[in-house]
Amino acid sequence: MIVSSVSASGTSLPRRKVDFDCNVFSVIAQIFACGDIFTKLSFLIFGLSNLVRGQIIKGLIFLGTEVAFFVYLFKGFGAFCGVKDLKGLVTLGEVEPIQEKVLDPISGMEVIQTIPGDDSSKFLLYGVVSMLIIAAFILLWKANVKSAYIAQYAVERGKKPVSIFRDITALFDKNLHNTLLFFPLVGILAFTITPLIYMILAAFTNFDKNHNGINATFDWVGLKNFGEVLGRGGTYGTTFWRILGWTIIWAIFATFLCYIGGMLLAMLINRRGLKFKSLWRTVFVMSVAVPQFVTLLTMRTFIEQNGTLDTFLRSLKILGKTETLGLLDTPLNARISVILVNCWVGIPYTMLIMTGILMNIPADLYESAKIDGATKYVMFFKITLPYMIFVTTPHLIQQFIGNINNFNVIYLLTGGGPSLDPTMYQSGSTDLLVTWLYKITLEKSDYCFASAIGICVFIICATLSLITYRRSGSYKNEEEFQ
Amino acid sequence: MRKERSMSETRRMGDILSYATLGIMSILWIFPIIVIILHSFKVENGAYYKNIIPTNWTIDNYTRLLRIGMSDLEKEQAYAQFDKWFLNTLFVAVIVCLISTFFVLAVSYTMSRLRFKMRRTFMNVALILGMFPGFMSMIATYMILKALGLEQTLTALILVYSGGTGLGFYVAKGFFDTIPKAIDEAAWIDGATKFQVFTKITMPLSKPIIVYTVLQSFSGPWMDFIFVNYVMGTKKEKYTVALGLYRMIDTAHIGEYYNQFCAGAVLVSIPLAALFVAMQKYYSEGLSGAVKG
């Protein structure tokens, strides 16, 4: 990334023959047409044009990186080797592990020894890394070509090409974005993008418990996993659609109950003449401030069978000695309980957000409505509600997507249970798609199916949010306030 | 006259109703928290206790949790190593906080103030990446850490918690967007470089959002138990508090460790609740814009 900045760092030259604002391919074609012999050779030998025209350090950096890249490609650094890794990405390993009986020299008994084969999971990882390195190399090549032409152009105009010091200063001024973005981008590439590409690719293989690279190699299978997950009939298919149904019901209830509850609570606290406003608010903020996993785990010990609540009611003789409220025992009870507990977690949070917005509703709207003789209910339905919905729609969408992916509440409260229905593969009645995905990953190690489900969740969320984000004002009028 | 009186009567009825509703709701919301605090002082072991208020009180749960006054052997044998977990989490949180604050501020400033070719693309990609379920890539991340030889280390946690934080730039970008561009332009005319504008002008104006980002990234490692569970497995001396507490009330341990879980929950919640309240303050200050008038 830094290198690309170096290339574009030419000072403001008079009109060039090559128009750098065109698209990438046309720029490169134009450079090839206008370049002299050194610039043309720079398409193959990095930095040559820079070296010839006196930009020694820059030229050497380009040349050095090219050499390093080809060494990586053909000879390899340690375990990484470009050509080998790319081939591995295609085959995903060919040598199967072999089990054979060997005579143990010490005990004199026959033992089964496994000769490890190719670890497909490593092949896939190294393959992804090699693809990223090649992509980086292509970017570098583009930067090199541009830099070659800029150097040639400076000489043609009778000027000295920019010195390396000017390039470095530009990194803190004109090209500051490259400097600031470099380290964050490395982090994102290494720990977000690489793993994500890996898992997306895994969705097209048969990387499951029977083919995990240790006990057998896995292979590309195309869209088979998606067929299995989305198609009705198979173990995964039946379960997927039922869980999707519940996920959507859950997201609707969880989002709107919290929204309405939070709004009513905010209005109640904001009510004119109500005393101890900040005390009430503090009480509710307290329950948000305690970390979620603590409150949720506490809630579980509260409402589970023979939990604190059961014991308490038994001591009050409301329940018999062995009776239980069974709040998490039947599918319906468990579903209602998780929705209610989610309200408990979510309402104060919404209240906090809503309080700020309520205070921002222009007071003159209410005054003129009052003069016109509007009642409280009319004012609520004609002023407060439309205003709130208008302002909080993006928040609502975000909450909805957040609830589709609400792992904590479900996992900590019920763990997805109760799992009474044997036709539901690896899941219970309160499992959402994400908790199901988690279970398939951890308990069944069917990574390919988990990835396929993850991609489906992504498609649902992406469709929902792209539609709304693109319509929202803050996306369209980004610079309105600058 | 009559109408006015009925108005004031409805008003009083409304008042009574709202106080009653708020009162009942407050009890509902505060009750579990009170119970946790009370149970952290109870003597009898076990999760399921018939009284809300303990009959016998003790602070043993806290001392045992922090392994105060234990011999080395006892320290080894205790399942709850809260003091160690606490230091682990603190260490991870401080370093993650430093790295990710830099990442977030750098990216958000770049996206807000600097104009370059790939800006819109970057922002859209960030939006798209955020829509994948978080732990879908957990397995692959673990493989990368294994390839780097970092499994079961705190370094792994630091890398994972801070690695992708550059994508969470939206709130801070919104803040930087409110600083008038005229200020930057004035500085450029006076000969400042863009880097100088960033460090000498924008940063001093951005205290609320810096504090918000710092608190936000500091509190992250205290909450996660999913990833750390996968990375650390059974190596309990490397646990963080969230995972430790989670493990203390699984079916194998809840009978013996429920009281200590309550004590641990109290100990973790106090600093985190304080952080949250502080964060709220700076968040709303951040939303109200940088330069007034």
Q: Decide if B191 touches A, using CB distance below 8 A.
A: no
CB contact under 8 A, A199 and B102: no
Task: Please tell me which residue of chain B has the smallest CA distance to A304.
Answer: B48
Same-domain pairing of A39 and A92? yes
Distances (CA, A) of A310 to A319, A323, A345, B252: 8, 8, 21, 21
Name the pLDDT band for A353 (thresholds 50, 70, 90): confident
pLDDT higher than threshold 50 for residue A7: no
Name the pLDDT band for B292 (thresholds 50, 70, 90): very low
pLDDT at A243: 93
- Nearest C-alpha of chain B: how many angstroms from A105? 33
Same-domain pairing of A50 and A193? yes
Provide the CATH number for the domain around residue A465.
1.10.3720.10
Which residues of chain A make contact with B7, given a CB cutoff of 8 A?
none
- Closest Cβ opposite residue A268 in set B18, B162, B226: B18
**B residues 81-110 lying closer than 8 A (beta carbon) to A:** 99, 102-103, 106-107, 109-110
pLDDT higher than threshold 60 for residue A481: no
Tell me which of B24, B29, B155 to substitute to probe the interface with A (most A C-beta atoms closer than 10 Å): B29
- Closest Cβ opposite residue A173 in set B166, B178, B194: B194
- Nearest C-alpha of chain B: how many angstroms from A295? 8
CB contact under 8 A, A344 and B29: yes
pLDDT at A469: 67
Same-domain pairing of A243 and A173? no
Which alpha helices (H) appear in A14-55, and where do they start and end? 24-34, 37-42, 48-52
User: Could you say which of A195, A222, A249 is where a domain stops?
Assistant: A222
Tell me which of A129, A165, A180 to substitute to probe the interface with B (most B C-beta atoms closer than 10 Å): A180
- Nearest C-alpha of chain B: how many angstroms from A106? 32
CB contact under 8 A, A181 and B106: yes
Sort B152 into a burial class: Cβ within 10 Å, 0-12 / 13-18 / 19+: middle
pLDDT in tens, B217-239: 998 899 888 889 988 988 888 99
CB contact under 8 A, B140 and A187: no
The domain tally of chain A equals 2
% of chain A at pLDDT higher than 90: 34
- Nearest C-alpha of chain A: how many angstroms from B106? 5
Determine the average pLDDT of the residues in A128-140.
94
pLDDT at B153: 92
Same-domain pairing of A77 and A215? yes
Contacts of B221 (CB under 8 A, 6+ apart): B89, B92, B93, B96, B157, B161, B240
> Beta-carbon neighbour count of residue A300 at 10 Å?
18
pLDDT at A10: 45
pLDDT in tens, A211-220: 888 888 889 9
Q: Decide if B194 touches A, using CB distance below 8 A.
A: yes
Q: What is the ipTM of this complex?
A: 0.88
Name the pLDDT band for A3 (thresholds 50, 70, 90): very low
Cα atoms in the Cβ-side hemisphere of radius 13 Å centred on A457: 33
DSSP A208: S
What's CA B234's distance to the chain center, in Å? 24
Reduce the DSSP state of residue B257 to 3 states and report it: helix
Q: Decide if B137 touches A, using CB distance below 8 A.
A: yes
DSSP A380: I
CA distance A146 to A5: 11
Domain ranges of chain B: 75-287
Phi, psi of B177 (to 5 degrees): -60, -25
Reduce the DSSP state of residue A206 to 3 states and report it: coil
pLDDT at A306: 78
Name the pLDDT band for A181 (thresholds 50, 70, 90): very high
CB contact under 8 A, A462 and B131: yes
- Closest Cβ opposite residue B131 in set A271, A465, A478: A465
pLDDT higher than threshold 80 for residue B8: no
Task: Please tell me which residue of chain A has the smallest CA distance to B164.
Answer: A188
User: A102-111, A273-282, B71-80, B164-173 — which one is most confidently predicted on average?
Assistant: B164-173
DSSP A102: E
- Closest Cβ opposite residue A283 in set B30, B114, B165: B30
Phi, psi of A12 (to 5 degrees): -70, 95
Which residues of chain A make contact with B128, given a CB cutoff of 8 A?
462
Domain of A391 in residue numbering reads as 227-474
User: Could you say which of A183, A198, A222 is where a domain stops?
Assistant: A222
Tell me which of B40, B132, B226, B282 to substitute to probe the interface with A (most A C-beta atoms closer than 10 Å): B132
Tell me which of A188, A401, A468, A477 to substitute to probe the interface with B (most B C-beta atoms closer than 10 Å): A188
CA distance B68 to B82: 11
* Mean predicted lDDT score pLDDT of chain A: 85
pLDDT at A379: 85
- Nearest C-alpha of chain A: how many angstroms from B80? 16
The dihedral over CA atoms of B213, B122, B124, B157, expressed in degrees to the nearest 10, equals -50
Same-domain pairing of A279 and A359? yes
Name the pLDDT band for B291 (thresholds 50, 70, 90): low
Between strands A110-115 and A98-103, the pairing is antiparallel
Q: What share of chain B is helix, strand, coil (3-state, %, to 5)?
A: 75, 0, 25
Determine the average pLDDT of the residues in B62-69.
86
Query: Which residues in A406-458 belong to E strands, given as ranges?
Result: none
As assigned by CATH, the class of the B75-287 domain is: mainly alpha
Which residues of chain B make contact with A285, given a CB cutoff of 8 A?
276-277, 280
Which residues of chain B make contact with A295, given a CB cutoff of 8 A?
32-33
% of chain A at pLDDT higher than 70: 94
CB contact under 8 A, B159 and A191: yes
> Beta-carbon neighbour count of residue A113 at 10 Å?
11
CB contact under 8 A, A188 and B163: yes
Which residues of chain A make contact with B134, given a CB cutoff of 8 A?
405, 407
CB contact under 8 A, B133 and A481: no
Same-domain pairing of A247 and A212? no
Which residues of chain B make contact with A449, given a CB cutoff of 8 A?
none
pLDDT at B288: 63
Looking at B40-44, B83-87, B240-244, which range is the least confident one? B40-44
Structure tokens at B168: 């969470």
User: Could you say which of A222, A246, A265 is where a domain stops?
Assistant: A222
pLDDT in tens, B158-175: 999 999 899 989 888 988
CB contact under 8 A, A273 and B15: yes
pLDDT in tens, A260-292: 999 999 988 888 778 888 888 888 888 888 888
Task: Please tell me which residue of chain A has the smallest CA distance to B176.
Answer: A482
CB A205 within 8 A of CB A92: yes
- Closest Cβ opposite residue A289 in set B163, B198, B273: B273
The dihedral over CA atoms of B173, B177, B179, B183, expressed in degrees to the nearest 10, equals 110
Same-domain pairing of A304 and A414? yes
- Angle value at C-alpha A315, between A314 and A316, nearest 5 degrees: 90
CA distance A244 to A304: 25
pLDDT in tens, B90-129: 999 999 999 999 999 999 999 999 998 889 899 888 888 8
How many residues does this entry show for chain A? 482
* Mean predicted lDDT score pLDDT of chain B: 86
Same-domain pairing of A322 and A369? yes
Structure tokens at B36: 């946790």
* Residues A305, A418, B79, B268, CA torsion sign: negative
DSSP bridge pairs for A103:
A110
Which residues of chain A make contact with B284, given a CB cutoff of 8 A?
356
Same-domain pairing of A6 and A80? yes
Tell me which of B139, B195, B232 to substitute to probe the interface with A (most A C-beta atoms closer than 10 Å): B139
- Closest Cβ opposite residue B246 in set A284, A293, A348: A293
CB B49 within 8 A of CB B64: no
pLDDT in tens, B15-57: 888 899 999 999 988 888 888 899 899 888 776 666 778 888 8
CB contact under 8 A, A438 and B48: no
DSSP bridge pairs for A80:
A77
CB contact under 8 A, A311 and B50: yes
Which residues of chain A make contact with B29, given a CB cutoff of 8 A?
283-284, 286-287, 344, 348
Determine the average pLDDT of the residues in B262-286.
85
Same-domain pairing of A315 and A440? yes
- Closest Cβ opposite residue B48 in set A306, A437, A457: A306
CA distance B126 to A342: 28
pLDDT at A397: 83
pLDDT higher than threshold 80 for residue B267: yes
Q: What's the Rg (C-alpha) of chain B?
A: 25
Neighbour-count burial for B249-270, b at 16+ CB within 10 Å, e otherwise? beeeeeeebbbbbbbbbbbbbe
pLDDT higher than threshold 60 for residue A477: no
CA distance B168 to B123: 10
Which residue did the predictor score with more confidence, A463 or A104? Answer: A463
pLDDT at B160: 93
pLDDT at A476: 53
pLDDT at A2: 39
CB contact under 8 A, A297 and B132: no
- Closest Cβ opposite residue A199 in set B136, B195, B268: B136
Task: Please tell me which residue of chain A has the smallest CA distance to B258.
Answer: A301
pLDDT at A480: 45
Which residues of chain A make contact with B231, given a CB cutoff of 8 A?
none
CB contact under 8 A, A191 and B164: yes
